[in-house]
Amino acid sequence: MKAEERTVNGVAVVDLIGEIDLQSSPKLRELFQAKGKAKCPRLVINFTRVPYIDSSGLATLIEYYQTSRAFKGGLALCCLPPRVKNVFEIARLDQIFAIHADEETALTSLSATA
């Protein structure tokens, strides 16, 4: 898995690329820990190029969600392929995370809460 970072209208966007599994989720955790340490005010995670996420990936996201809540950071997920979206739905995490169909909507949602 690779993670590419960019900024769109002042919002940090991370494009995740590749499968998120037991091998790669520690790398994702490092990225989130850096974002948590920097108290990233608004973060969009783009899943367009993520074909698969396992429970360790979900747990890593939950951990960052908990961290970001503590400093009131905004977090939005977008562009989940159907299979990845199913993983969130089965674990009922679609009720916790703000999941958006496209990046623009995700960015707008965070701008609205800024």
Partner 1 sequence: MIPEDEIIRVQGLVKAFGPRRVLDDVSFSVKRGEILVIMGGSGCGKSTLLRHLIGVVQPDAGDIFILGRNICGMDEDQLAEVRRKFGMLFQSGALFASMTVGENVALPIREHSVVDDTIAQLMVKMKLELVGLTGFEHLKPSEISGGMKKRVALARAIALDPPLLFCDEPTAGLDPIMTAVVDTLTLDLCQKLGMTAVVVTHDMVSAFRIASKMLMLYQGKVVAYGTPDEIQAMDNPILKQFVNGEADGPIPLRLSEGDYLKHLIG
Burial class (CB in 10 A: 0-12, 13-18, 19+), 54: middle
- Quote the distance between the C-alpha of residue 63 and its chain's center: 11
Among the residues of 6-54, which ranges form H helices? Answer: 25-37
Only segment of 10-18, 34-42, 68-76, 86-94 that touches partner 1 (CB under 8 A): 86-94
Q: Which of 91, 84, 92 is nearest to 46 (CA)?
A: 84
Give the nearest distance from C-beta 110 to partner 1 in angstroms: 24
Residue of the chain from 2, 5, 22, 96 that contacts partner 1 (CB under 8 A): 22
Give the nearest distance from C-beta 66 to partner 1 in angstroms: 9
Interface ranges with partner 1 (CB under 8 A): 22, 25-26, 29, 54-56, 58-60, 62-63, 83, 86-87, 89-92
